[in-house]
Chain A
Amino acid sequence: MKQRPEVTAYFLIFFILSVAIFALSKTGVLSPFEPIFQTIIAPVQSTVYNGFSFVTGIGSNSKIKDLENKNDLLTKKLLDQDKLIKDNKALNDQFLTQNPPSDNLLPAQIVGAPGFVPGLSVPEDYIIDKGLADGVKVGDAVVVGDNLIGIVYKTTKYLSSVSLVTNSSASFTAKTMETNALGVVKGQGGGGLILDNVVLSDNLKVGDLIVTKGDASVLGEGVMPGLILGEIVAISKNPSDLFQRAKLNARVNFSKLYKVFVVIR
């Protein structure tokens, strides 16, 4: 059984090498070298992902797509109008209601969005082709239109990882657009979203939009207010519970996106 010691030797050598590289990676020593491979593979990933998105998009009804785009545009106008009305009511010209200004937006291509069943399962994270070299930082919000897509949680020189709002570890303070009820939006994984921790005395309405309340610090870190998280589709209110909750539908199809925008501070 001469082969067995040889196999063990091979295993030990590469296992120890792997552990050593893992330890170096955790300490950040390998950070300068990581971008070298990422600059090579990012275009390949982007091509594969775009090709896959194109193939899965074949046969989708263009009329329905047009209607969805018009719906998004009208929702944006509704949001803008609502903000104008509130601003006028409060007579507060100095308070800026922040829809992300266009000069703060950095367009980014999605190069990776691994999901269980490609094209059907909603991914929980994106990998985008912008990183530290482009000014992206951990904690930056990622948007499409007025919709919050997720938050950057890891950056390298040329790539970044984005945790989607539907990720089971995601949560955001939020409010309803019509009734101003406050709550916390939590990702459920698999594309699910709920609005939780809403006091029973607040009104929730099916069809109402949920927007971020905003938790930006003085340094500009965090999520700005007014970004759409989803729309209420069902309400769960039990008088014996402390809080009521609502099930939300995201207004964005996360498995079909290929381009997003990073809000640069």
Chain B
Amino acid sequence: MKTISVILLTLALIIESTITTIPLILLCLLTLTAVFREKFIFVLAFIFGLLLDLAMLKPVGFSSIIFEIYIFLIFMYQSKLEITTSNFIIVASFLGSVAFLLLNGLFRNIILESIVSTLVGIMIFIITRRLVKVKTND
């Protein structure tokens, strides 16, 4: 679980800090929380939030705060909602992307970008779930 998580988040960090404004790390954290539901994800959210801020020359700690709150809200909702379904991923991706882009001052095309983030989030979720199933069968 930890290996998949670190590889996924590292790829997301490199892509998000280089060529796109889509919040890939946020989407990966959502998927990892939904699939694994481990408290270790708080550690990953903290570390990769710091790394993202360092790579993007933003105030360090800002993204970590957003990620921690986001992951905590998902954990709180897991007793009330079924979080390992695509429907939840769609809603959480969209709302999370809108909030993240707003807080980072990226107001332009925010709805369109959030819709695209949702599609990317769903893809990451499906691929991660398949990878985990394959590993479990092995």
A interface residues, Cβ below 8 angstroms from B: 1, 4, 6-8, 10-11, 13-15, 17-26, 30, 34, 37-38, 41, 44-45, 48-49, 52, 111-119, 121, 124, 127, 154, 156, 159-161, 168, 189-190
Contact = CB atoms under 8 A, between A and B. Distances in A.
Contacts of B61: 18-25
A18 B65 contact: yes
Contacts of A4: 79
A37 B62 CA distance: 17
Given A15-B69, A18-B68, A45-B18, A10 B59 contact: no
Contact of A116 (B21, B45, B51, B59): B21
A127 B54 CA distance: 11
30 contacts: A7-B72, A10-B42, A11-B42, A14-B45, A14-B46, A14-B64, A15-B68, A15-B69, A18-B65, A19-B65, A21-B60, A21-B64, A22-B59, A22-B60, A22-B65, A37-B51, A37-B55, A41-B51, A41-B54, A41-B55, A45-B18, A45-B55, A49-B18, A49-B19, A114-B17, A114-B20, A114-B21, A114-B56, A117-B116, A118-B19
A10 to B, nearest CB: 4
A202 B3 CA distance: 65
A114 B16 contact: yes
Contacts, number: 127
Contacts of A8: 72
- Interface SS of chain A: helix, strand, loop or mixed? helix
A116 B65 contact: no
Contacts of A160: 57
A161 to B, nearest CB: 5
A10 B54 CA distance: 23
A62 to B, nearest CB: 24
Interface in B1-35: 14-22
Contacts of B60: 21-22, 24-25, 30, 34
B43 A14 contact: yes
A152 to B, nearest CB: 11
Contact of A37 (B22, B42, B54): B54
A189 B108 contact: yes
Contacts of B69: 15
Contacts of B55: 37-38, 41, 45, 112, 127
Nearest to A36: B54
Contacts of A25: 53, 59-61
B22 A18 contact: no
A26 to B, nearest CB: 6
A22 B49 CA distance: 11
Contacts of A52: 18-19
Contacts of B43: 14
In this complex, the member of B14, B57, B64, B112 whose beta carbon has the largest number of chain A beta carbons within 10 angstroms is: B57
A48 B64 contact: no
A48 B14 contact: yes
6 nearest A-B pairs in the assembled complex, by CB-CB distance: A22-B61, A21-B61, A18-B64, A25-B60, A118-B19, A11-B72
